[in-house]
Amino acid sequence: MNPRVLALFAHPDDVEFRAAGTLLALDEVGYELHYATATSGDLGALSGTRTRIAATRKAEAKAAAKLLGAKWHGSFAEDMAVIYSTRLLRRAAALVRKVAPTILLTHPPVDYMEDHTETCRLAVSAAFIRGAPLFRTSPPRAAIEGPIAVYHATPHGLVGPLGERRPPALLVDTARGHRQKLAALALHTSQREWLDATQGLGSYVETADAESRALARLVPGLEHAEGWTQHHQLGFGPSDFDPLRDALGALVHRVATV
């Protein structure tokens, strides 16, 4: 069985913004890709019903996952309703147990909006509780064994919610899959007007391209990159378990700290 990577982020299109290049790199070395978002994206439009918006964003996410070669998994919460709770943890833990990933990619613990932060908390706890047979998931899934490594993406603009600088610990060289990453992001066509009006991103594809280039400048010689920081391994696996570095080798670069 091929090793598996699960990208669990808050909203449809977050996977493309933060993790698609890394997923494509892992695909090339034999990883099975899994794509999941906590929310349906049902508030991500300026007009229309939440049901219709959610259906549109589901179709976009499924198309993007297909382009990336990833298996798409349905959401388990509404926008701005990702609250760290037992109910949602049971859903997130069921997903982790179903996929049984070696690598879990998610948001940073501190970010500019709460859906991101709470999705991160749920993802980390779901990974931690994967092997506890007495924790009930929804739907029911048996506990799983084996180590897992959680990696946190960079926050937007490399800064936290108070403007503090939060650079990643490592970069993955994503130049090889960059065009495919942007093509997957471009499939989220409903977000063009929304992101421009609410977050001033203008062309969101150009924003993703610029962020990738800005990250790459942290390591001389790179053109495009995605940034990651590994969660502490206590409770998740051996202290030296670093499957992202092991799998991608020369594509992984440590970011110098000042």
Task: Let me know: does 204 contact 57? Beta carbons within 8 Å.
Answer: no
CB-based contacts of 19, cutoff 8 Å, min separation 6: 7, 9, 105, 153, 226
CATH number, domain containing residue 56: 3.40.50.10320
Place 121 in a pLDDT band, splitting at 50, 70 and 90.
very high
CA distance 236 to 117: 20
Percent of the chain scoring above 70 in pLDDT: 95
The 10s digit of each residue's pLDDT in 142-189 is 999 999 999 999 998 889 999 999 999 999 999 999 999 999 999 998
Token pair of 109 as six digits:
């613990």
Beta strand ranges found along the chain (DSSP E): 4-9, 32-37, 71-73, 103-106, 149-153, 170-173, 225-230, 252-254
pLDDT of residue 201: 47
Instruction: Write the CA distances from 226 to 21, 36, 44, 167, 217, integer angstroms.
Output: 7, 18, 24, 11, 11
pTM of the model: 0.95
Cα(124)–Cα(149) distance, rounded to whole angstroms?
Answer: 10
Residue 17 to residues 25, 82, 205: CA-CA distances in angstroms?
15, 19, 9
Angle between helices 204-216 and 178-186 (to 10 degrees): 150
Assess contact for 94 and 137: CB atoms under 8 A.
yes
pLDDT at 36 over 70: yes
**Secondary structure of the chain: what % helix, strand, coil (to 5)?**
45, 15, 40
Bridge partner residues of 106 (DSSP): 152
Total domain count, the chain: 1
What pLDDT is stored for residue 199 in this prediction? 52
Among 95-99, 109-113, 227-231, 240-244, name the one with the lowest average pLDDT.
109-113
Element of type H or E holding 127: helix 114-128
Q: Residue 243: which domain range?
A: 4-254
Report the 10 Å Cβ neighbour count for 187: 21
46-93 per-position pLDDT tens digit: 788 999 999 999 999 999 999 999 999 999 999 999 999 999 999 999
**pLDDT tens, residue by residue, 185-227:** 999 988 776 555 555 544 778 889 999 999 999 999 999 999 9
Phi-psi region of 12 (alpha: psi -120 to 50; beta: other; left: phi over 0): beta
